[in-house]
Chains A and B, each alone.
Chain A
Amino acid sequence: MHRQKKYRASTPGVAWLLSELQIESLYGREALKNLRPTKPDQLEQLHQSLSELETMVAAARNDKSYFDQAGSIFKCLRFINGSLDNLEAGQVPDETELLEIKGFAMMLTSLKNWYDKSGLQLPSVSFSDIEPVIKILNPDRTIVTSFHVHEAYSQKLKEIRAEKIQLENRILQCNDQQTRDELRNQRARLVQAEKTEEHLVRENLGQQLLEWVTRMRHNGLAAGRFELLLAKTRLACRFNCTRPEVFAGNVKKPLQAEEMINPEVEAILASHGKQFTPVSIELNPGTTLLTGANMGGKSVALMTLAMNAELATLGFFVFARRFSTPLFDFIYLITGDGQNQASGLSSFGAEIIRLSELTALTRQGIGLAICDEFARSTNPSEGSRFVQALGEFLQQSGSYGIIATHFDGIRIEGATYYQVIGLKEKNALEEHADREALLKKLCEKMDYRLQKINDDYQVPKDAMHIATILGLDSEFLSILRRHYQS
């Protein structure tokens, strides 16, 4: 079987979501492993799989227990590819393999029956009829989940077993040690004959099953795809996700994101009794610059955007009220926390290496580049030049780039500018003593939404204000104030 490495998510949000997916069977896990971003020439397939997901989500929203029966099948579905490989290699299947294949055939048959009745008719999911496999492995009229090498397969086997049972009863009733030993020897010969005959029967069963191997493999793959689709459906229902609109990357339309949510951050906030403020933003091809107060949620906004863009390319529903995006060739993050002392790289060094990779990618296609406070760890006079250059580079590249920065005076021809709305009523909360209360108050007073601004903007100078709110030492603050005034 063609084995691929597991998909590595480009964004931490997607990595978190993939780890949260409920996938029970090995077939489903294989399908998840083979998950890949949609390539630019596969836009049609992406639309199709989003339509499939839409059908599933509609069914699940309409009836919460709609998928319960199908979902329960995956819990006990065994991965039988090893047994199928052995069959194809011409090996005589042993009893456990036959039990495994029978179990698989029964489960897939009930899944197929359910699916056919459900009327879902998804183009990527179809199950072959493998009911005859059950018949091969269950010669009795009553279908049972167990398996044994049945007497019905061979008259000779039936005779051997009848004789063996007679002997066993005689052994049981025999009190004479010598006679008993003799009977046991006779029985041992019958056991041998039984095994030989059973082997022939299994060999014959193996040959009968051979023509079904391809269909069983097909059904395994389809089951895996369906389970992954089911996991996507559950996720979409749990978080009330929406279908993204995805268009070709070269259309040069803006990426529009309305009221995005970050489920991971939302869960953390909820555990503190707080709510996530939905984020909206529109990105034109070229550069978008994002500024805003410290603690204003710039990083969260960027990560939420990146996650949703990646989800769309993977055929998931997105965490937004509306999300319209080009099909990107790549989604690339530079977050400035790549410091790695083991490899001798400083934060800045790591950023430069990431930057080199990004520039190479922009030459190969149209992507989404997300840069969180680029060059923040070097000196501001040089750092701001790096950011200016990065902005100009992305503006020309044809890719969609967004850069969050605190540096003043970055102006890029043709770029879009956004700012976190920031603190409301700036003087309302300076007298709090308890830091916990201050922090809570600060979060309440912070407006995390983004607003579009003109290029004559000022980078907000809220650092001292926020330091004051957070209760910084008063002596320190007075020194600081002197420097602000000078």
Chain B
Amino acid sequence: MGRSLAELIEGYSCVAIIGMEKNAGKTTVLNHLLSSRPAVVQAITSIGYDGEDTDQVTGTDKPSIYVGCGTMVATASSLLGQCDFTRELLRFTGFHTPMGEVIITRARSDGFAQIAGPSTTVQMSALIGMLHELGATQVLVDGAAARKSTAAIASSEACILATGAAFSPNPDDIVEQTGHYTELLTLPEFEHETAFTCINEDANSCILLDQSGNICGLTSALSDECADRIADRNGQPTTALFNGAVTRPMLQKLLGKCRRLDWLQIVAEDGTRYLINSRQKLDLTSRGARLAVRRQVNLIAVTVNPTAPSGLRLDGAELCRHLSERIDLPVFDVCASENQIFSRKAVQHA
């Protein structure tokens, strides 16, 4: 039998849990990791605020995060009243959110926590630093759903991807999209720091580099002519660096202009910036284009929530098996019962 999820994250000082979709079971994973009561001091925070006790659309109960005594919780001041663990306030952080300033607390009993943390990469990294300074050995970050998870990814050592029935009622679709997304997150890294630093941070830019790494073009990634500028390089080895999103319309236009793309390498900040589906990715790669990222995500596991807020319940074991065939990573069922790999007992025996 493989290692449990709790064992997998041992040794990482910061682990982010990101979801393919809302209700993908992030909270269940967090609760599992928190309740495994490892020998280390844990801390938990979140990218922004992930909402309410019940899902506003479906009206279903959403699980709350339940922390154990001794856990540090970094959350916004106005949510403290909704946390029901006995707590000690350790310090202010100076990071302000719409829900108030983020404050670091330590639980002096078990209890439910409402968590809202900072939403920028810079603040999240600083907060993680503060938590370590206060004695936390492992920080868990409740990352946002897929496309908004950059801050979580950028400030963590390892990531867990949560997927499940909430994403799609069709198991094949879940397997395919999760596999596709996993591939994007783990695309190979491309290193050329100088080229990236000359891109304006705020703008969605695209820089073109020639074979020897010299800049040979700069355009806005959002403008209509972005694909034209890339296509102008047809046949000459080129790297296109994007600091923002790599969008579908742009790639569609490029695919329409160039039959072969074996001269092109596309580089995005990280895998979440590729706003493309698996078919489009196949289209690109089959024509020879290479995709890369500036920062590869250290994805260590995928978790599956076979139930959806709608009440739909898929076969978890089956789904896990299919995902395992598609993805070369440990896959866990968050709803699996006691005797399975995910359960706390299994962890305690290990």
Contact = CB atoms under 8 A, between A and B. Distances in A.
A104 to B, nearest CB: 12
A36 interface: no
Nearest to B345: A175
Given A145-B91, A175-B338, A164 B86 contact: yes
B88 A147 contact: yes
Nearest to A198: B86
B117 to A, nearest CB: 16
B69 interface: yes
Contact of A95 (B89, B106, B110): B89
- Which residue, B35, B77, B338, has most C-beta atoms of chain A within 10 A? B77
Contacts of A99: 89, 91-92, 103
Interface string A314-358: 000000000000000000000000000000000000000000000
Contacts of A94: 80-81
Given A95-B80, A191-B84, A194-B86, A148 B108 contact: yes
B109 interface: yes
Interface string B127-169: 0000000000000000000000000000000000000000000
A479 interface: no
Nearest to A165: B109
A100 interface: yes
Contacts of B106: 146
A411 interface: no
For the residues of A in contact with B, the DSSP-based class is helix
A191 to B, nearest CB: 4
A172 interface: yes
A148 B87 contact: yes
A100 B92 contact: yes
- Which residue, B84, B106, B111, has most C-beta atoms of chain A within 10 A? B84
A61 interface: no
A342 B78 CA distance: 47
A146 B109 contact: no
Contacts of B81: 94
Interface in B50-101: 69, 77, 80-81, 84, 86-92, 101
A455 interface: no
A161 B109 contact: yes
- Which residue, A78, A147, A188, has most C-beta atoms of chain B within 10 A? A147
A69 interface: no
Contact of B90 (A146, A164, A175): A146
A164 B108 CA distance: 11
Contacts of A458: none
Nearest to B35: A172
A145 B133 CA distance: 14
Contacts of A146: 88-91, 106
A24 interface: no
A98 B80 CA distance: 14
Nearest to B89: A99
B80 A96 contact: yes
Nearest to A102: B89
A447 interface: no
A164 B84 CA distance: 11
Nearest to A172: B110
Contacts of B103: 96, 99
Contacts of B108: 148
A100 B109 CA distance: 23
A168 interface: yes
B265 to A, nearest CB: 43
A168 B338 CA distance: 20
Interface string A179-197: 0000000001001001000
B110 A78 contact: no
Interface string B190-232: 0000000000000000000000000000000000000000000
Nearest to A192: B84
A384 to B, nearest CB: 54
- Which residue, B35, B103, B109, has most C-beta atoms of chain A within 10 A? B109
A136 to B, nearest CB: 16
Contact of A148 (B84, B88, B101): B88
A194 B90 CA distance: 20
Nearest to A188: B84
A92 to B, nearest CB: 12
A171 B84 CA distance: 15
Contacts of B110: 165, 168, 171-172
Interface in A85-100: 94-96, 98-100
Interface in A164-221: 164-165, 168, 171-172, 175, 188, 191, 194
Given A95-B80, A96-B80, A175-B338, A191 B111 contact: yes
Contacts of A100: 92
B110 to A, nearest CB: 4
A96 B90 CA distance: 10
Contacts of A191: 84, 111
Nearest to B77: A96
Contact of B89 (A96, A164, A168): A96
Nearest to A160: B86
B83 to A, nearest CB: 10
Contacts of A103: 92
B135 to A, nearest CB: 12
Interface in A428-477: none
A194 B85 CA distance: 10
Nearest to A157: B86
A39 B101 CA distance: 42
Contact of A147 (B69, B89, B338): B89
29 contacts: A94-B80, A95-B80, A95-B89, A96-B92, A96-B101, A99-B89, A99-B91, A145-B90, A145-B91, A146-B88, A146-B89, A147-B88, A148-B88, A148-B89, A148-B108, A164-B86, A164-B109, A165-B69, A165-B109, A165-B110, A168-B69, A168-B111, A172-B35, A172-B110, A175-B338, A188-B84, A191-B84, A191-B111, A194-B86
Given A148-B86, A171-B110, 15 more contacts: A95-B80, A95-B89, A96-B77, A98-B89, A99-B92, A99-B103, A146-B90, A147-B88, A147-B89, A148-B108, A164-B86, A164-B109, A168-B109, A191-B111, A194-B86
Interface of A: 78, 94-96, 98-100, 103, 145-148, 161, 164-165, 168, 171-172, 175, 188, 191, 194
Which 8 A-B pairs have CB atoms at the shortest separation, nearest pair first? A148-B88, A168-B110, A99-B89, A191-B84, A146-B90, A96-B77, A147-B89, A146-B88
